[in-house]
Amino acid sequence: MNAPFDQTAVTQGPLRQVQPELETLLDAAIDGVMIVDHKGRVRLMSHAAELMFDRQETDVLGHNISLLLPDFETLLHRHVISFELSINPLRRSRSLGQHHETIGLRSDGVRFEVELGVGTIRGIEPARYVVFVRDISERKLRDRALQRSEAALHTAQALANIGNYVIYYDGVTEDYASPQLIRMFDWIAADEDRRLGKLTNRMLAAVHPADRTLVMNAFSDLDSEAVTIDISYRIINTKSEISYIHHLAQVIRNVHGRAIQHVGTLHDITERKLADYELQQMQNRITHSGRVSILGEMATGIAHEVNQPLTAIATYAKACLRLMGNNDCTTEEINATLEQIAQQALRAGEVIRRMRSFVRYHEANTEPIECEHILKELVQLAQTDAHYHAVQLVIEPSTETLMVQADPVQIQQVLLNLVRNSIDAMQETVDPNRVIVLRTCVNDAGEVEFMVADRGHGIRAEIAQELFNPFYTTKLSGTGLGLSISQSIIRAHGGKLWHDANPGGGARFFFSLPRVGNALTSTSNKRY
Ligand code: ADP
């Protein structure tokens, strides 16, 4: 069976003494057709085969087919065995199994990829074979280019942690999920996953229960309207690990507007989320330490403020003792003295409560706040320090009620920092100029503008650019962080912070915040 074909050429006439129909059929065939005898000699070559191998039939006839298909013999031997074993005597000819890919050789020595279909013509002794040849070199080139671009896409997706999918609505075509998407969800065996049904269900099943409604609503919006979805949510993979996903998708419709495909991209943004969260925590801690630091600067004033009611309490207590030592004192007199003690204790308690609520650590959280109200609260907080330094705090009333969406503690921190700086700048200012004016108004851009103006030593032009740099300070015990923290707080609120010279002397600091409607009542969980 494995005896080699005869390699010598034989001079035999063409096998074309067949009917003209067959001849026409052979020459019209798009694939090349050849007939080979039991020794591997070419007995017939169609016109398409001539073109493919760039040879004339007359030059090839009687020559061994290895001239055109160098591996044909090996191929035939390999498959003839299995063919002979499964031969069906009722059929006149039988294909040798699958089509085979091998190499073709042109007359100029150029090799090209071909696909062969080989069949034995039965009932003829010795055996003859029909060989169908198709030039697949271009298809192979395309396939390889496609494979390369798919491999590049998969690598890029793996690097960027992006997966994509296509869901088909025809009920027939199988949904597509890219390898990176499968990795993202940790779907192990593709077959196992398929049993779970449509890709949409598989994805939904992995969505964190708290985010599922969001995703389901987005999917149903997508199906009903021509919109794209752009959502972020959490998924839980099969190892119970949580990942943050940014999901973009859109539905593709046919000319009649019917949805035919849903295509989407999922980006695993877990690392970015964690980094954002850590950055946020860091910012919260810096902002918090800024507050602690301001309070440290105000410590002398606070001690003074608390000392006053304590001294008063001691004085009233002594007076009370004296009264009780007098046999002729009335209950009313004692009650009045105790009432004074209680009031002074509340006053001291209030100072401490304000300080504690200002300095406590909290996660930034915005809410609608009324601007003049926040100025009034600020004055209460800063009054202690201002009194101590003989500085007057004046609020210029606003003509209308202005609202901003902000974290009240952080805005107070900015204002307190500006007020503290103004107090420091007015150390040398003489009365009656030791006044700080606080004001809110609407600027030309429609934003709410806060102002803190003083009559201090002002800001020299050469340092004006430096003030907001972290650690820039002109004070002996300054940290140089107040303005830089204030600037990042205001930026995080969507506003800006700046200063100019106060006409008539001193400095003015301003910050703007987007104005919101007065009716706004809901809180937002945006983090700063
Ligand atoms: P610190 O108060 O610890 O110095 P800041 O960042 O709050 O840090 O301020 C930086 C510098 O800006 C101050 O040292 C001071 O020189 C200047 N500065 C801030 N506010 C005023 C003001 N109202 N008048 C004059 N100089 C000011």
Q: What is the CATH number of the domain that holds 247?
A: 3.30.450.20
Name residue 137's amino acid. Answer: S
Say if ligand 1 is within 6 A of residue 296 CB: no
Is there a single domain that holds both residue 243 and residue 381? no
Cβ partners under 8 Å of residue 230, min gap 6: 246, 247, 248
How many angstroms is it from 453 CA to the middle of ligand 1?
13
Say if ligand 1 is within 6 A of residue 464 CB: no
Q: Tell me if 501 sits within 8 A of 507, measured CB to CB.
A: yes
Is there a single domain that holds both residue 302 and residue 369? yes
Quickly state the pLDDT bin for 65 (edges 50, 70, 90).
very high
How many angstroms is it from 472 CA to the middle of ligand 1?
8
Please work out, in degrees rounded to the nearest 5, the angle formed at the alpha carbon of residue 383 by the alpha carbons of 382 and 388. 105
Is there a single domain that holds both residue 262 and residue 321? no
Atom of ligand 1 nearest to the CA of 454: 23
In terms of pTM, does the model score above 0.75?
no
How many angstroms is it from 213 CA to the middle of ligand 1?
50
* Confidence at residue 259, expressed as pLDDT on a 0 to 100 scale: 84
How many angstroms is it from 294 CA to the middle of ligand 1?
12
Atom of ligand 1 nearest to the CA of 481: 6
103, two tokens = 């190499």
Query: Which of 167-176, 240-249, 412-421 has the weakest average pLDDT?
Result: 167-176
Rounded CA separation 133/293 (Å):
86
Say if ligand 1 is within 6 A of residue 423 CB: no
Is there a single domain that holds both residue 369 and residue 456? yes
Cβ partners under 8 Å of residue 404, min gap 6: 368, 369, 371, 411, 448, 493, 513, 514, 515, 516
* Confidence at residue 4, expressed as pLDDT on a 0 to 100 scale: 44
Higher-pLDDT residue of 9, 429: 429
* Confidence at residue 188, expressed as pLDDT on a 0 to 100 scale: 63
Say if ligand 1 is within 6 A of residue 507 CB: yes
* Confidence at residue 37, expressed as pLDDT on a 0 to 100 scale: 87
Q: Mean pLDDT highest for which of 95-99, 235-239, 353-357, 416-420?
A: 416-420
What are 139-164's pLDDT values in tens digits? Answer: 999 999 999 998 888 888 888 889 99
Say if ligand 1 is within 6 A of residue 468 CB: no
Within-domain flag for 528: no
Within-domain flag for 404: yes
Within-domain flag for 276: no
Is there a single domain that holds both residue 225 and residue 373? no
Rounded CA separation 466/487 (Å):
13
Within-domain flag for 523: no
What are 201-232's pLDDT values in tens digits? Answer: 888 889 999 999 999 998 888 877 757 889 99
* Nearest protein Cα to ligand 1, atom 23: 422
Quickly state the pLDDT bin for 239 (edges 50, 70, 90).
confident
Within-domain flag for 348: yes
Residue 367 clears pLDDT 80, i.e. is over it:
yes
Atom of ligand 1 nearest to the CA of 452: 23
How many angstroms is it from 467 CA to the middle of ligand 1?
7
Residue 481 clears pLDDT 70, i.e. is over it:
yes
427, two tokens = 């150390």
Higher-pLDDT residue of 314, 77: 314
Is there a single domain that holds both residue 76 and residue 214? no
Residue 82 clears pLDDT 70, i.e. is over it:
no
Say if ligand 1 is within 6 A of residue 119 CB: no
Within-domain flag for 27: yes
Quickly state the pLDDT bin for 89 (edges 50, 70, 90).
very low
476, two tokens = 């002996």
* Confidence at residue 528, expressed as pLDDT on a 0 to 100 scale: 26
Is there a single domain that holds both residue 309 and residue 418? yes
Last residue of a domain, one of 81, 103, 135: 135
Average pLDDT of the segment spanning 313-323: 90
What are 269-298's pLDDT values in tens digits? Answer: 999 999 988 888 888 888 888 888 888 888
Last residue of a domain, one of 268, 301, 322: 268
Say if ligand 1 is within 6 A of residue 506 CB: no
Pocket test for ligand 1, best of 483, 498, 500, 509 (most atoms within 8 A of CB): 483
Say if ligand 1 is within 6 A of residue 417 CB: yes
Within-domain flag for 525: no
Say if ligand 1 is within 6 A of residue 290 CB: no
What are 482-500's pLDDT values in tens digits? Answer: 999 999 999 999 999 999 9
Within-domain flag for 194: yes
Quickly state the pLDDT bin for 17 (edges 50, 70, 90).
low
Is there a single domain that holds both residue 299 and residue 225? no
Domain that holds residue 293: 283-516
Domain count, the chain: 3
**Count of CB atoms situated within 10 Å of the CB of 78:** 15
**Count of CB atoms situated within 10 Å of the CB of 214:** 15
3-state DSSP: the chain helix, strand, coil percent, rounded to 5? 45, 25, 35
* DSSP-assigned states of every residue in 131-184: EEEEE-HHHHHHHHHHHHHHHHHHHHHHHHTEEEEEEESSSSSPPEE-HHHHHH
Cβ partners under 8 Å of residue 225, min gap 6: none
* Confidence at residue 476, expressed as pLDDT on a 0 to 100 scale: 87
